[in-house]
A and B are shown apart, each in its own frame.
Chain A
Amino acid sequence: MEIQIENSMIKQKHMLAEQFIELSQVKETGKKVVYTFVPGNLTELIYAFDMLPVYPEINSLQSGMRQKSKEYIQEAEDMGYSEDVCSYVKCDIGMMLQGNIGPTGQQLPEPDILLLSYTGCFVFMKWFENLKQLYPNAEVAMLHIPYQEAGKMEPSAITYIKEQLKNEVIPKFEKVSGQKFDNDKLGAKMDLSAQAEDLLIEVFDSAKHTPSPIDAYFGGVYYIGPIFTAFRGSQDCLEYYQELLKEVNYRVVNKLGPITPEGYMKEEKFRLVVEGPPNWTHFRGFWKMFYDIGAVFVGSTYTRVGGVYDDGFRHSSKDSLKSMAEYCLGCYTNRNLSQRIDFIENFITRYKADGFLVNSIKSCNSFSAGQLVMMRDLEERLGIPVGFIETDLVDPRYYSYSNIKNRLDSFFQMLDQRQTFNVGNDNLSDDVLT
């Protein structure tokens, strides 16, 4: 059974290896390369032109996991980037300056086109303005996604995005790839995406079981890998999620917890929902602080940053451009604070969470600004214990094990006491509650 559980992981590794091989061979194959971002990515459209996507954030996070980010960040700071700004940007630029060697040790190709899909993060725009100077020969296509200011998708915003796709993005893709836009080819990919999205949501929703068969944060970052990056819209992606769901269902039937780096999680003690991205430089040690004590994440907002499918949205071939527009608009950090709070509340109640944790990321104001208000609001609405820790994406200088551990210990103690006294149970006497 261990082998079956590992199948999806093996498949994902294989898909990634193939992707990087393909990228390293573009000089021979003549395939064009698109640099773009995860939130609001247009992977199906990129593949509809037979081009290959590269995601600078993914390069940065992988550099973080490979302990390379410190040196890359230093390189960028030496050339004038402030310590205060996003470490993804600095890591990516530092990596580029040191030869653009990807996670497999192969050099990443330069972009033929920079697709600036500016979704839910203002820094993306600045990042690509910087890349534009570093790759002066690349074509640049700008796709501005308006924010869901009023807590809904305005029809004018959908039209705006469709028009940009029609008049800015697609013509530039045609120019760079030398291919005409083929709506049927795009539609076929989007229908495959929709099938994979159905399966992903089944995987995430399995957290309603006790014990939860998934960890929606640390495990979740692997579950979202194919669909958030280079594979959405492919047969491989669909097969990955079919395999993953099989493994999750096996764990449900056998009442098993999620897989951790040390095997199945033994005991589910606390069910948590988390807001914010994880830290990548100490990923395993960070995860260990949770699984050692039996804390499992049943919901996470980070795993919605590259697309939200929980409220029914699926990519669709019916009106491909509209579908892409709605996808981009719906990404988690493109939603206003009230929507984000409602979203988290739904996780907490649906997955019967014991606590809510904020991992506040120094680099990411898009996520972080407003989190303290969100936290207090949820505490007031639901009476749920809340915890707060601070780390960074890929800057190891902002990861303090002892600070995080101290805060988590207090949080877990609070959860433990709550479980012991079952706070909220009317049968308890007042002095116990006091």
Chain B
Amino acid sequence: MDNSSYIEIIKTARELFEDLSFTYASKWKQENKSRKIIGFLPIYIPREIVHAAEMLPVGIFGAGDRIPVIRGDAYFQSYICHLPRTVVELALNGNLDDFDGFIFPSICDVIRNLSGIFQIKIKDKFVRYLDFPQNFEKSIGGTYYRSELERLIDDFEKMNNVKITPEKLNASIVLYNENRKLLQELDFIRINSPYKIPAVDFYLVQRAGNVMSVEDHNDYLKKLLPLLQESTNEQEDKIRVVVSGSFCEQPPIGLIKTIENAGCYIVEDDFQLGHRWFSKDIDCASSDPVDVLIDSYLNDSTYSSAVYEGDTPKGDLLAARVKELNADGVIFCAPSFCDPALLDRPMLEKAMDRHHIKHSNFQYHENLGQFHVIKEQAGTFADMIKLWE
């Protein structure tokens, strides 16, 4: 592997991760006066629509430990998770000034009410709470979702003075299909040979896709993937784990590194779940691409703590996935005070027990700085599996 090229590529992702001023997005916007930036909160939004409106969708995943939280703490009580504090801090510090709007997907009460705070405090920007249907019948939930998407499209068209034609939306779908496919290739490399890419690098590469334009991220991945194929990293004696529960407030980089250093190859995680919300291509030749996006959401969404599980228990899906990945166990790793993840955890743990899958759990917050307890716990988990399984 060309090590210098690899280092350079990862450096780009790390710089994007560390840049809380979102310089990439600002530069992108400056290139053309008609361009706009739309921030979105975890987990999933149909970025194809934002792209078709000639806007840049940028994921806002908090600021970790990279900014002191001063004003953000004055907005939330101590028992509310950490992510909204750093999001508010970023907004009030002016880091999001170049953004033209924000989308808050319906994933929990805190993100929902954060949209209200933005409506009140960030008055001159577009703010939308996007309510995803929890009814998956096309004629019911699908009809409702269409009205939500059409309202969004209508607002975007007015904001940016563009028409989101079926052709434009199909073209955007093509790009995002390609992006999903490239990220799947990255996934396959990790699943088959997790030693080829350190967990932190993998995370940064994925995360870069929530800042870069889809075109740039596709090019970026096309440069990275061949390098990984050539990787000469050697496999170490580590167990294979799936990490679950970190889909919104992000684990600190140190935590990801700690899990790996403690003897666990992460073969799947949900840190950037929105990227793999769909595992198959979305039809890009329809005369009604909005309908296609609706169908994809209703029928092909991945399981998630934010989506009603219906008749298919999430625990069984996770267990099936663990087996499919030939993983040795699951680490439930949820942010403190995260209702969706923490209320799912007992159900998921029970399902793992039913399927005889080993598991461990701990909580974190995005600005956690001490990892030795987690290292001991993850290390013990790995040792237990290596010794007794």
> What residues of chain A have their CB less than 8 Å away from a CB belonging to chain B?
79-82, 84-86, 89, 116, 118, 121-123, 125-127, 129-130, 133, 142, 144, 146-147, 149, 154, 156-157, 159-160, 163-164, 167-168, 336-338, 341, 360, 362, 365-366, 368-373, 377, 390
> Is there contact, CB below 8 Å, between A85 and B120?
no
| Neighbouring A residues of B151 by C-beta, 8 Å | 154
Q: B327-357 toward A: CB 8 Å interface, digit per residue (1/0)?
A: 0000000101111101111110110000000
CB contact under 8 A between A360 and B77, given known A164-B135, A168-B135:
yes
- Could you tell me the distance between the alpha carbons of A212 and B77 in the complex, rounded to whole angstroms? 32
Is B133 located at the chain interface by the 8 A CB criterion? yes
| Neighbouring B residues of A168 by C-beta, 8 Å | 135, 137, 140
- Could you tell me the distance between the alpha carbons of A377 and B116 in the complex, rounded to whole angstroms? 12
Least CB distance, A198 to chain B, in whole angstroms: 31
| Neighbouring B residues of A160 by C-beta, 8 Å | 133, 135, 140-141, 143-144, 147
> Is there contact, CB below 8 Å, between A370 and B117?
yes
Across the two chains, which residue of chain A brings its CB closest to B104?
A149
CB contact under 8 A between A122 and B144, given known A144-B133, A163-B139:
no
Is B110 located at the chain interface by the 8 A CB criterion? yes
CB contact under 8 A between A156 and B347, given known A365-B108, A369-B84:
no
> What residues of chain B have their CB less than 8 Å away from a CB belonging to chain A?
74-77, 79-80, 84, 106-110, 112-117, 119-121, 128-129, 131, 133-135, 137, 139-141, 143-144, 147-148, 151, 305, 308-310, 313, 334, 336-340, 342-347, 349-350, 363
Across the two chains, which residue of chain B brings its CB closest to A364?
B109
Closest A-B pairs by Cβ, 4 of them: A337-B116, A156-B147, A126-B343, A160-B144
CB contact under 8 A between A147 and B344, given known A84-B336, A160-B140, A372-B74:
no
> Is there contact, CB below 8 Å, between B134 and A125?
yes
| Neighbouring B residues of A337 by C-beta, 8 Å | 113, 116-117, 119-120
* B119 touches which of A85, A336, A360 (Cβ 8 Å): A336
Least CB distance, B332 to chain A, in whole angstroms: 9
Least CB distance, A271 to chain B, in whole angstroms: 26
| Neighbouring A residues of B144 by C-beta, 8 Å | 146, 156-157, 159-160
Query: 12 additional contacts, CB 8 Å, given A79-B346, A370-B117, A373-B75?
Result: A80-B350, A126-B305, A129-B308, A142-B134, A142-B308, A144-B308, A149-B115, A160-B147, A336-B129, A362-B77, A365-B108, A369-B114
| Neighbouring A residues of B308 by C-beta, 8 Å | 116, 118, 125, 129, 142, 144
> Is there contact, CB below 8 Å, between B339 and A144?
no
- Could you tell me the distance between the alpha carbons of A149 and B127 in the complex, rounded to whole angstroms? 10
> Is there contact, CB below 8 Å, between A149 and B128?
yes
Least CB distance, A228 to chain B, in whole angstroms: 20
> Is there contact, CB below 8 Å, between B119 and A123?
no
| Neighbouring B residues of A130 by C-beta, 8 Å | 343, 346-347
- Could you tell me the distance between the alpha carbons of A357 and B350 in the complex, rounded to whole angstroms? 42
Of listed B84, B137, B347, B350, residue having the most chain A CB within 10 A: B347
Least CB distance, B310 to chain A, in whole angstroms: 8
> Is there contact, CB below 8 Å, between B346 and A368?
no
- Could you tell me the distance between the alpha carbons of A146 and B144 in the complex, rounded to whole angstroms? 10
> Is there contact, CB below 8 Å, between B339 and A336?
no
> Is there contact, CB below 8 Å, between A84 and B337?
yes
> Is there contact, CB below 8 Å, between A163 and B120?
no
Interface of B is mostly: helix
| Neighbouring B residues of A80 by C-beta, 8 Å | 345-346, 349-350
| Neighbouring B residues of A157 by C-beta, 8 Å | 144
Across the two chains, which residue of chain B brings its CB closest to A82?
B342
> Is there contact, CB below 8 Å, between A372 and B133?
no
- Could you tell me the distance between the alpha carbons of A172 and B280 in the complex, rounded to whole angstroms? 33
CB contact under 8 A between A84 and B79, given known A154-B147, A167-B140, A369-B110:
yes
| Neighbouring B residues of A116 by C-beta, 8 Å | 308
A-B contact pairs, 18 of them (CB 8 A): A80-B349, A80-B350, A84-B342, A85-B342, A86-B339, A122-B106, A122-B108, A122-B109, A122-B112, A133-B347, A142-B134, A146-B131, A149-B131, A154-B151, A369-B80, A370-B117, A372-B76, A390-B77
> Is there contact, CB below 8 Å, between A129 and B77?
no
Of listed A80, A86, A154, residue having the most chain B CB within 10 A: A80
| Neighbouring A residues of B310 by C-beta, 8 Å | 142
- Could you tell me the distance between the alpha carbons of A377 and B120 in the complex, rounded to whole angstroms? 9
- Could you tell me the distance between the alpha carbons of A168 and B137 in the complex, rounded to whole angstroms? 10
* B339 touches which of A156, A341, A365, A377 (Cβ 8 Å): A365
| Neighbouring B residues of A122 by C-beta, 8 Å | 106-109, 112, 339-340
CB contact under 8 A between A123 and B339, given known A149-B128, A369-B114:
yes
| Neighbouring B residues of A85 by C-beta, 8 Å | 339, 342-343
| Neighbouring B residues of A360 by C-beta, 8 Å | 77
| Neighbouring A residues of B133 by C-beta, 8 Å | 144, 160
| Neighbouring A residues of B128 by C-beta, 8 Å | 149
Across the two chains, which residue of chain A brings its CB closest to B116?
A337
* B129 touches which of A121, A147, A366 (Cβ 8 Å): A147
- Could you tell me the distance between the alpha carbons of A121 and B350 in the complex, rounded to whole angstroms? 25
| Neighbouring A residues of B116 by C-beta, 8 Å | 336-338, 370, 373
| Neighbouring B residues of A377 by C-beta, 8 Å | 120
Least CB distance, A253 to chain B, in whole angstroms: 42
| Neighbouring B residues of A146 by C-beta, 8 Å | 131, 144
- Could you tell me the distance between the alpha carbons of A144 and B337 in the complex, rounded to whole angstroms? 24
- Could you tell me the distance between the alpha carbons of A121 and B113 in the complex, rounded to whole angstroms? 11
> Is there contact, CB below 8 Å, between B140 and A164?
yes
| Neighbouring B residues of A373 by C-beta, 8 Å | 75, 116-117, 120-121
| Neighbouring A residues of B347 by C-beta, 8 Å | 129-130, 133
Across the two chains, which residue of chain A brings its CB closest to B349?
A80
- Could you tell me the distance between the alpha carbons of A370 and B112 in the complex, rounded to whole angstroms? 10
Across the two chains, which residue of chain B brings its CB closest to A123?
B339
Across the two chains, which residue of chain A brings its CB closest to B341?
A82
- Could you tell me the distance between the alpha carbons of A372 and B120 in the complex, rounded to whole angstroms? 12
| Neighbouring B residues of A365 by C-beta, 8 Å | 80, 108-110, 113, 337, 339
> Is there contact, CB below 8 Å, between B135 and A144?
yes
Least CB distance, A23 to chain B, in whole angstroms: 26
Least CB distance, A161 to chain B, in whole angstroms: 9
- Could you tell me the distance between the alpha carbons of A159 and B143 in the complex, rounded to whole angstroms? 9
> Is there contact, CB below 8 Å, between A89 and B343?
yes
CB contact under 8 A between A81 and B346, given known A144-B134, A144-B135, A163-B140:
yes
- Could you tell me the distance between the alpha carbons of A302 and B360 in the complex, rounded to whole angstroms? 39
> Is there contact, CB below 8 Å, between A372 and B77?
yes
| Neighbouring A residues of B344 by C-beta, 8 Å | 126, 129
